[in-house]
Amino acid sequence: RKEVEQDPGPFNVPEGATVAFNCTYSNSASQSFFWYRQDCRKEPKLLMSVYSSGNEDGRFTAQLNRASQYISLLIRDSKLSDSATYLCVVSLGTGGFKTIFGAGTRLFVKA
């Protein structure tokens, strides 16, 4: 089983749609959780951290369920500029700074 698993997609959605990505992680010692986005031939950029209480940043909502070891990202009112690969990322606990990236979910938003 991969340490961080994501549906690779691609997700093809029209502008204005709501789309949700899911991610599961295998190590229960994981302590920090993130979503990054990566555009083609560019570096990953931090989109948002993920907290157990859930957090929102504009059109983006992230959720963490520690019991199920599950992370989600919801994008509302999709824009063309949201087209990218979304990477689920897990960082292990103290004593190490190991950051594990999922393989990413590809999103295409169409006009």
Partner 1 sequence: DTAVSQTPKYLVTQMGNDKSIKCEQNLGHDTMYWYKQDSKKFLKIMFSYNNKELIINETVPNRFSPKSPDKAHLNLHINSLELGDSAVYFCASSQGQVLGNTFGSGTRLTVV
Enumerate binding residues for partner 1 (CB under 8 A). 31-32, 34, 36, 42-46, 49, 85, 87, 89, 91, 96-101, 103-104
Name the minimum Å distance from CB 46 to partner 1.
4
**Identity of the residue, 38 or 69, whose beta carbon is nearer to partner 1 in the bound complex:** 38
Query: Which three-class secondary structure state does DSSP give residue 82?
Result: helix
Name the minimum Å distance from CB 16 to partner 1.
28
Angle, alpha carbons 14-6-29 (nearest 5°): 140
Count Cβ atoms within 10 A of the Cβ of residue 6 and give its class: 0-12 exposed, 13-18 middle, 19 or more buried.
buried
Asked whether 55 and 62 are in contact (CB, 8 A), the reply is: yes
Name the minimum Å distance from CB 99 to partner 1.
6
**Identity of the residue, 11 or 104, whose beta carbon is nearer to partner 1 in the bound complex:** 104
